[in-house]
Amino acid sequence: MPYTKEHKDKTRKRILQSAFQLFTAKGFDGVTVNELMENCGLTRGAFYAHFSGKSALYNESLKFAASSSKLSELKPNNISDKAWLGQLLDGYLSLNHVNGIRPCPLAFLATDIVTQDQEAKETYTRVYEGMNKTIMDYTQTYSSCNENEILSVTSMIIGAVAISRTLKDQKTVSTLLVSCRLEAGRILGGV
């Protein structure tokens, strides 16, 4: 008896979650298909029922992670755009995020993406552009921030998280995150 669409979708999601977790920890070259499938408790055959290869999985896991991020959530009706953006920045520039709680693929794959194929780079670019558009949309309701300011903020916060993941001194990490949060808030109109 063939699997249901719901079962296939659930299996695909499980593979994507496992892949993103492993790719962010080890990079593309540090993960094998066998390791990936073992990590999610499935067979190698199940992998090829969902993906044509590891590169296709990498690309899809990047999109999956972006669609699962806090930034992709709908803003609650009872909060202003400015307050919501402040909450998003607080979460993004937090120790929980640096330690991998709902990791952003832009920060967690920043150095790994340069060695990937053109399709993965294009996906990364679209995710980055989506982040900029979302932040711009929120700021336009209360501030006159321009595209260059948004680009500087997103580059700064992605870089802050990526750098924080490499540092051993937690005091330095905390100082970096707080400093970037203050600067991002200033640029984004006092968020």
Question: Which tens digits make up the pLDDT trace of 135-166?
Answer: 999 999 999 999 999 999 999 999 999 999 99
Q: What is the mean pLDDT of residues 66-93?
A: 92
Give 1 or 176, the one with higher predicted confidence. 176
Q: Please calculate the CA angle 29-176-170 and round it to the nearest 5 degrees.
A: 75
Distance CA 50, CA 106 (A): 24
pLDDT surpasses 80 at 55: yes
3-state SS, 125-182, equals: HHHHHHHHHHHHHHHCCCCCCCHHHHHHHHHHHHHHHHHHCCCCCHHHHHHHHHHHHH
Give 1's DSSP letter: -
For position 1, what pLDDT does the model report? Answer: 64
Question: Which tens digits make up the pLDDT trace of 176-190?
Answer: 999 999 999 999 999
Please state, in angstroms and as integers, the Cα–Cα distance from residue 125 to each residue in 69, 98, 108, 134, 183, following that order: 16, 21, 14, 14, 24
| 69 band by pLDDT with thresholds 50, 70 and 90 | confident
Q: What is the mean pLDDT of residues 27-39?
A: 93
Q: Is 107 exposed, middle or buried (0-12, 13-18, 19+ CB in 10 A)?
A: buried
The residue whose two tokens read 């709680």 is 101
Give 41's DSSP letter: T
Average pLDDT score over the chain:
93
pLDDT surpasses 70 at 100: yes
For position 59, what pLDDT does the model report? Answer: 92
Distance CA 16, CA 33 (A): 12
Q: Coil, strand or helix: which one is 121?
A: helix
3-state SS, 92-114, equals: HCCHHHHCCCCCCHHHHCCCCHH
Give 3 or 7, the one with higher predicted confidence. 7
For position 147, what pLDDT does the model report? Answer: 96
| 106 band by pLDDT with thresholds 50, 70 and 90 | very high
Domains of the chain listed by start with CATH number: 5-66 (1.10.10.60), 69-187 (1.10.357.10)
For residue 10, how far is the Cα from the chain centroid?
Answer: 21
Closest CA to 188 of 155, 152, 160: 152
Percent of the chain with pLDDT over 90: 78
